[in-house]
Structure 1
Amino acid sequence: MKTARKLIGNPRVFDAVVVLLTAALLFGAYLTAYAFVIQQDEVVEPAGNIGQGIVVGAWLATTGVLFAAFARGLRGGKPWHNALPDGYVGSLTAALTFGAAWIVDNAYWAPTFVTTSVGLDALFTPPRLVLIAAAAVMVSGPLRAAARRGETTAGFSTLISAALLLSVLTFATQFVHPLIDPYALKGYDFAPAGNLAWLGENIGVAAILAQALILAGTGLLLNSGFKLRPGSMTLVFTINGLLVTTSKLHYKYLPVMIATGIAADAWIAYSARRPGRPSASLCGVIGFTFAFAYMVEINLMNSSWGRSLWAGTIVATAMMCWMMGRLLRAGLPSAIVAPLNAAAPVPAPVEVRQEVRWTRDPASTVRPQLVRAALDDLGTPEALGRSPLGKLAGIAHGDSTAADLRAALVDVISELAASSQPRDAEAGRLLLDYYVKKVGSHEVIMERLHLSRPTFYRRLQRGFSLVAERLDEMSEFAEKVPVAR
Structure 2
Amino acid sequence: MTDPRVFDAVVAALMGALVLGAYITAYAYVIQPNRIDAVANVGYGIVLAAWLAATAILFAAFGAGLRAGKPWDRALPDGYIGSLAAALLFGAAWIVDNGYWAKGVVGPDAVGLDALFTPPRLIEMAAAAVMVSGPLRAAARRGETTAGVVTLLSASLLLSVLTFALQFVHPLIDPWASAQYAIPAGTPSWVGKNVGVAALLAQSLVLAGAGLLLNSGFKLRPGSLTFVFTVHGLLVTITKLHMSYVPVLIITGLAADAWIAWSARRPGRPSASLCAVIGGAFALAYMGRILVDGTVWGGSLWSGAVLACIMLCWLMGRLLRAGLPAAMVATLIPATPIAVEIRNEIRWTRDPASTVRPQLVRAALDDLGTPEALGRSPLGGLPGVAQGSGSAAANLRAVLVDVISELAASSQPRDAEAGRLLLDYYVKKVGSHEVIMERLHLSRPTFYRRLQRGFQLVAERIDEMSEFAGSVPVAR
Aligned to 2:181: 188
Shift of 1:333: 3.8
| Pairs within 5 Å for 1:286-301 | 286-301=278-293
Q: Distance in 1 between matches of 2:3 and 2:327?
A: 36
* CA deviation profile, 1:274-301 (whole Å, cap 9, x unmatched): 0000010000001001111111101101
Aligned to 1:95: 87
For 1:279, the aligned partner's letter is: S
For 2:291, the aligned partner's letter is: N
In structure 2, do the counterparts of structure 1 residues 368 and 26 end up closer, same or farther at CA, with 3 Å as the change threshold? closer
Q: Which runs of 5+ in 1 are unaligned?
A: 1-7, 358-364, 381-408, 431-445, 471-485
Q: In the alignment, is residue 153 of structure 1 matched against residue 142 of structure 2?
A: no
TM-score, length-normalised on structure 2? 0.75
Q: In the alignment, is residue 69 of structure 1 matched against residue 61 of structure 2?
A: yes
Q: Distance in 2 between matches of 1:175 and 1:410?
A: 47
Structure 2 residue matching 1:329: 3-state secondary structure: coil
For 1:130, the aligned partner's letter is: I
Aligned to 1:174: 167
Q: Distance in 2 between matches of 1:201 and 1:292?
A: 17
TM-score, length-normalised on structure 1? 0.73
Structure 1 residue matching 2:237: 3-state secondary structure: helix
Aligned to 1:391: none
Q: In the alignment, is residue 9 of structure 1 matched against residue 31 of structure 2?
A: no
Shift of 1:460: 9.4
Q: Which runs of 5+ in 2 are unaligned?
A: 339-345, 363-377, 385-399, 411-415, 434-447, 462-476
Aligned to 1:388: none
| Pairs within 5 Å for 1:274-293 | 274-293=266-285
Q: Which has the higher helix share?
A: 1
Q: 2:406 aligns with which of 415, 419, 431?
A: 415
Indicate if the aligned counterparts of 1:256 and 1:297 stay in contact, CA closer than 8 A.
Answer: yes
Aligned to 1:142: 135
Indicate if the aligned counterparts of 2:170 and 2:203 stay in contact, CA closer than 8 A.
Answer: yes
Q: Distance in 2 between matches of 1:25 and 1:243?
A: 11
Q: In the alignment, is residue 231 of structure 1 matched against residue 223 of structure 2?
A: yes
Aligned to 2:467: none
Identity, % of aligned positions: 65
Q: For CA contacts below 8 A with separation 6 or more, give which structure has more relative contact order.
A: 2
Q: 1:464 aligns with which of 443, 455, 459?
A: 455
| Pairs within 5 Å for 1:107-122 | 107-115=99-107, 116-122=109-115
For 1:88, the aligned partner's letter is: Y
For 2:173, the aligned partner's letter is: I
Q: 1:78 aligns with which of 70, 77, 81?
A: 70
Which sits farther off after the overlay, 460-469 or 154-163? 460-469
Which sits farther off after the overlay, 249-258 or 344-353? 344-353
Aligned to 2:300: 308
Q: 2:197 aligns with which of 195, 199, 205?
A: 205
Aligned to 1:131: 124
Indicate if the aligned counterparts of 1:417 and 1:429 stay in contact, CA closer than 8 A.
Answer: no
Indicate if the aligned counterparts of 2:61 and 2:75 stay in contact, CA closer than 8 A.
Answer: yes
For 2:30, the aligned partner's letter is: V
Q: 1:214 aligns with which of 201, 206, 210?
A: 206
Shift of 1:9: 1.3
In structure 2, do the counterparts of structure 1 residues 155 and 201 end up closer, same or farther at CA, with 3 Å as the change threshold? same
* CA deviation profile, 1:161-216 (whole Å, cap 9, x unmatched): 0000000011000001111111111142135667x101100000000000110000
Shift of 1:76: 1.4
Q: Distance in 2 between matches of 1:90 and 1:61?
A: 17
Shift of 1:111: 2.2
Q: Distance in 2 between matches of 1:411 and 1:183?
A: 59
Q: Distance in 2 between matches of 1:318 and 1:366?
A: 35
* CA deviation profile, 1:298-351 (whole Å, cap 9, x unmatched): 110111111111110000011001101111116894598514698587999889
For 1:138, the aligned partner's letter is: M
Q: Distance in 2 between matches of 1:349 and 1:102?
A: 48
For 1:264, the aligned partner's letter is: A
Shift of 1:413: 6.3
* CA deviation profile, 1:410-461 (whole Å, cap 9, x unmatched): 9976734879x9995896899xxxxxxxxxxxxxxx9xx8989x99xx9997
Q: Distance in 1 between matches of 2:402 and 2:306?
A: 61
Structure 1 residue matching 2:266: 3-state secondary structure: coil
The number of residue pairs the alignment matches comes to 401
In structure 2, do the counterparts of structure 1 residues 98 and 341 end up closer, same or farther at CA, with 3 Å as the change threshold? farther
